[in-house]
Copies of this chain bind each other. A is one copy, B any other.
Amino acid sequence: MTLTLQKSALDSNGWPHKLDAGRATLLAAMQPEMRVFPVKTQIPREGRWRSKVYRIVSGCAVRRLNCSDGRNQIVSMLFPNDLFGLSEIFSEPTGLVETRDTVSVTSIDHASVLSLAARDINVAMWLLNYINEHSSSSDRWSMILARGNALEKVAMLLLDLYKRLMGAAPAGQQPIRVPITQQDIADFTGLASPYISRTLALLRARGSINVFYGAIEIVDPKVLMVSAPVMADFWVGDFAETT
């Protein structure tokens, strides 16, 4: 990993620390406003205008884009600590957020985010960094959508979700179950759900995963990566240390 080397210019200016400070400030400001949304509802409620930035505290949700002819795509899965609503600060909302669990969130309205960021540059910078990171992953995911086959798409999705859940999970909790239905995998990868079933069956036959009702268990990420060898190196990073 040459990553630390590459970041050195920033490190020396103390930015990583400042970013953390900005993050803490923002999260603290969001703390007081906590709400719970039941399973299978929208955040905010159906038809309501979204004028807040939300942070998932617990539970799981998806962000989905809809076309007027019924086609739709899941753009991201939201797990604890993920923010959403940021891109609506300056423009109209793009897509809906639907809960997949009982979801509790903290929130802060757009105006407060703006004034907070204006007062504390670290907040503004953390936001910039947050969006930048997501923008990069979004680019990489685009490549997988455009160029990967079904096996690669599914494997990469599962690896990504696995990696994110690993970060939050209590240490040593192996294996991890990714809470996602096959229909949602289909909506995320742009594949048809019957074909997802077949693809998962193949991955299971290879010993990468176990398939459950509404969840996929990642048996071994390294075996899973074998099913998408090339894509993995630039998208998810390696899992050498996780086993």
A87-B135, A92-B3 given; A142·B141 CB < 8 A: yes
Choose the segment among A39-47, A111-119, A172-180, A215-223 that binds chain B (4+ C-beta atoms closer than 8 Å).
Answer: A111-119
CB-CB under 8 A from A67, the residues of chain B are 143, 147, 230-231, 234
Q: How far is the CA of A121 from the CA of B121 in the complex (A)?
A: 7
Q: How far is the CA of A67 from the CA of B234 in the complex (A)?
A: 7
Q: Does A189 contact B (CB under 8 A)?
A: yes
CB distance from A127 to the nearest CB of B (A): 6
Choose the segment among A9-17, A96-104, A161-169, A202-210 that binds chain B (4+ C-beta atoms closer than 8 Å).
Answer: A9-17
Q: Does A69 contact B (CB under 8 A)?
A: yes
Q: Does A77 contact B (CB under 8 A)?
A: no
0/1 string, A37-78, CB within 8 A of B gives 1? 000000000000101000000000000010111011101000
Q: How far is the CA of A231 from the CA of B70 in the complex (A)?
A: 11
Binding site for B on A (CB under 8 A): 3, 6-7, 9-10, 13, 15, 19, 49, 51, 65, 67-69, 71-73, 75, 86-87, 89-92, 94-95, 110-111, 114, 117-118, 121, 124-125, 127-129, 131-136, 138-143, 145-147, 189-190, 230-231, 233-234
Q: Which 7 A-B pairs have the closest CB atoms?
A: A146-B190, A124-B124, A73-B143, A69-B230, A87-B132, A90-B129, A145-B145
